[in-house]
Amino acid sequence: MDFERPLFDLEKKLEDLRRLSLAEAPELAAEVDSLAAEIAKLRIETYTRLSPWDRVQIARHPERPKTQHYVEALFTDVIELHGDRLFGDDEAMFAGLATLGEQRIAFLGHRKGSNTTENIRRHFGSPHPEGFRKAMRVMRLAEKFGLPLVTFLDTFGAYPGIEAEERGQAWAIAESIELLSGLRVPIVVADIGEGGSGGALAIGFGDHLIMLENSYYSVSSPEACASILYRDSGQAEAASSCLRMTARDVYEFGIADEIIPEPLGGAHRDPSGVISAVGVAISDALDRLSGTLPEDLFVRRYDRLRDIGEYCRLPGE
């Protein structure tokens, strides 16, 4: 990532120095110690002054834990469900049934690839309409069998291609939002990276929203917002500062319920620790929601949605 370049250069220099034999050049020992101290100081300065755009870069880091990593580590007895019964199977939407602790659940999540081949097959985590329709199949199963629903957000948005529009992309997203809002089962959402646009919102709200420190949750990706505001997607960094999209922003707005800290540099620096923390947060949220009547879940969720956003009327309007 660009903002890490000064730190990366120093770490490379330190690595090169440590390859040298200090026994043959003892005068280098002091330089190594000094450089290590400088790196430690710069690491703290770099990762404690992150701009919104820096956090977007961290949220998109290719080594960041993805939905499939959370499912593999946190759940047992996983049964993946495929297809939308209308067109086909969209790998960008990971859907199925699983067990968390001793509780059977249904789960959904945007699924990015771990390499270029997988990312092309999964459209870099951007679902087509069949992905959202598959998600709706699982939502209905969750309600039919009284299973809590856990969702993982990690997409910059729904797939924007013409073929997706021809198959009813906007319609599928709208139907998914309608169905999700009315489910009579607990819904816990974990934003593990990118929570962008309608593609995220289609599976991205419920009774409890957990956000990782460097994730974002926004009505639009920075690039899409820049295209609208500035007619130039290259102005994404400027747009990211206007969107109030970081975990801290969303928490202060009262939309997110909790923020899980990440290690310096991002979740990819300690994947197992971050995944474990998310698992604990999901379990705790489900425990708190378990005694709530279905009718109360519906009413509270409606109130949560209605409380999002503020507006005022100008004189004369």
Q: Nearest CA to 222 among 201, 240, 245? A: 240
**How many angstroms separate the CA atoms of 256 and 126, rounded?**
22
Asked whether the predicted pLDDT for residue 275 surpasses 80, the reply is: yes
**Mean pLDDT across the stretch 105-129?**
95
Asked whether the predicted pLDDT for residue 21 surpasses 70, the reply is: no
Q: What is the pLDDT of residue 239?
A: 94
Q: What is the pLDDT of residue 305?
A: 86
Q: What is the pLDDT of residue 28?
A: 76
**How many angstroms separate the CA atoms of 103 and 99, rounded?**
5
Q: What is the pLDDT of residue 13?
A: 86
**Mean pLDDT across the stretch 267-294?**
96
Query: Do residues 41 and 66 make contact, with C-beta atoms less than 8 angstroms apart?
Result: no
Asked whether the predicted pLDDT for residue 41 surpasses 90, the reply is: no
Burial readout 257-290 (b: 16 or more C-beta within 10 A, e: otherwise): bebbebeebbbbbbbeebbebbbebbbebbeebe
Sign (positive or negative) of CA dihedral 270, 274, 275, 277: positive
Query: Do residues 245 and 278 make contact, with C-beta atoms less than 8 angstroms apart?
Result: no
Dig out the tokens for 198 from the structure: 């309608």
Higher pLDDT, 159 or 9: 159
pLDDT digits (tens, 9 = 90+) for 300-314: 999 988 888 777 888
**Mean pLDDT across the stretch 23-38?**
79
Q: What is the pLDDT of residue 19?
A: 78
Q: How far is CA 255 from CA 53, 214, 246, 302, 310, in A?
A: 20, 16, 11, 13, 12
Query: Do residues 219 and 200 make contact, with C-beta atoms less than 8 angstroms apart?
Result: no
pLDDT band, very low/low/confident/very high, at 92 (cuts 50, 70, 90)? very high
**Mean pLDDT across the stretch 264-292?**
96
CB-count burial class (<10 Å; 0-12, 13-18, 19+) for 116: exposed
pLDDT digits (tens, 9 = 90+) for 124-171: 999 999 999 999 999 999 999 999 999 999 999 999 999 999 999 999
Q: What is the pLDDT of residue 94?
A: 98
Q: What percent of the chain has pLDDT over 90?
A: 78
How far does CA 195 lie from the centroid of its chain?
5
Q: What is the pLDDT of residue 82?
A: 97
**How many angstroms separate the CA atoms of 22 and 19, rounded?**
9
Asked whether the predicted pLDDT for residue 25 surpasses 80, the reply is: no
> In three state form, how does the secondary structure of 262-315 look?
CCCCCHHHCHHHHHHHHHHHHHHHHHHHCCCCHHHHHHHHHHHHHCCCCCCCCC
Higher pLDDT, 315 or 208: 208
Q: What is the pLDDT of residue 160?
A: 92
Q: Where are the alpha helices (DSSP H) in the chain?
A: 5-19, 28-47, 52-59, 67-74, 116-121, 129-145, 162-166, 169-181, 197-201, 222-229, 236-242, 247-252, 271-289, 294-306
Q: What is the DSSP letter of 66?
A: -
Task: For 19-30, give the DSSP string.
Answer: HS-TTT-TTHHH
Query: Do residues 167 and 128 make contact, with C-beta atoms less than 8 angstroms apart?
Result: yes
Asked whether the predicted pLDDT for residue 22 surpasses 70, the reply is: no
**Mean pLDDT across the stretch 102-127?**
94
Q: What is the pLDDT of residue 216?
A: 96
Asked whether the predicted pLDDT for residue 260 surpasses 70, the reply is: yes
